[in-house]
Amino acid sequence: MLLPVVEQADLVDVVALAERGLIGGVVLIGKPDEGIADAIDSLQESSMIDRLVIAVDEEGGSVQHLDGLLGRLPSAYGLTELEPRQVRVVVADRMAAMADLGFTVNLAPVLDVGAGPGIGSRSFGDEPEVVVAYGRAFAAGVLEGGLVPVAKHFPGHGRADADSHEDLPETPPFEELSDIDLLPWHDLIEGMGVMVGHLDVPGLTEGMPASLSPEAITGLLRKDLGFDGVVFTDDLAMGAIEEVATLSKAAVLALVAGADLLITGGEENVIPAAWEIVTALDDGRLDEARLNEAVGRAFALRGVDPCTLVS
């Protein structure tokens, strides 16, 4: 369930973690070169538990890592100059090229309504209907290209008051989200994942980030909105989390809240987080059934059949 954040040069350093079954995959950052496909192949071959998640934030605009190999992709806001059907084609072509390199998951589209701190042109705009239309087109293109799209940042970062990389943002009160921020999260395309943001939602999370809140994940996302896919946390090494918990304790809180795949910052955080999860099972903070549910969803995303792991 643990996804360390690594650059291409660091992929060799996570081989030992993959060999021991301690990671579910990686999130690639930086600017990879032509050797990235071979590096991903080597990591996949080292995995104790079959195919790993190889994820990247390839939104376009200011958040893209593969432009040196695949050319520039416009920002979400820039893509609104096209028709949604054209966006679907553009994105599908890029995702197919990414699949050829070995990527399996794209941490996009951004379904935030608005361009608040940390978002800007990453959003498709200020109108929920525009975000819905273009977000669905982007996600459909990701699926057609052979990758899994992960929509972010639930329940909506676009009108929050800070950048979660630095501080814990506060959104408008929960009762104000329904007609604006939450609209893109209804009726998500089958096959998508959801990334939950580090967002304090007054009236819902009560000072905790949504990524660590059972009310936000198990309550709002799963029960109220009916989402049964894979839930990712945003990076647990971000400033917003540092305000409320250590990364290892945040990993346990996220699992208890209903998250399935946890982005852990650097690979040095994997073993401490794993030990904290084991300790939480022993002392009762984490229920084994909840852990099994998360592992099951993670395996399904990876295409792993648990029955083949039993000798």
- 234 catalytic, yes or no? yes
Classify residue 85 by burial, with Cβ atoms within 10 Å: 0-12, 13-18, 19+: exposed
The fourth-level CATH superfamily of domain 2-309 is Glycoside hydrolase, family 3, N-terminal domain (3.20.20.300)
| CB 251, CB 277: distance < 8 Å | yes
φ and ψ of 281, to 5 deg: -65, -40
Identity of residue 74: P
Indicate the pTM of the whole model: 0.96
Least Cα distance to 75 among 90, 89, 85 occurs for 90
Q: Where are the domains of the chain?
A: 2-309
| pLDDT per 10-residue tile (average), the chain, 311 residues | 97 94 97 97 94 97 98 98 98 98 98 97 98 98 98 98 96 94 96 98 96 98 97 98 95 98 97 97 97 96 83 53
pLDDT at 305: 85
β-pairing, 193-196 vs 231-233, is parallel
pLDDT in tens, 23-62: 999 999 999 999 999 999 999 999 998 899 999 999 999 9
pLDDT at 311: 53
Catalytic residue, chosen from 57, 181, 200, 234, is: 234
Residue 74 corresponds to which tokens in the numbers above?
């416009």
Q: Within 10 Å of residue 283's Cβ, how many Cβ atoms?
A: 8
- 165 catalytic, yes or no? yes
Catalytic residue, chosen from 165, 179, 187, 282, is: 165
φ and ψ of 23, to 5 deg: -130, 155
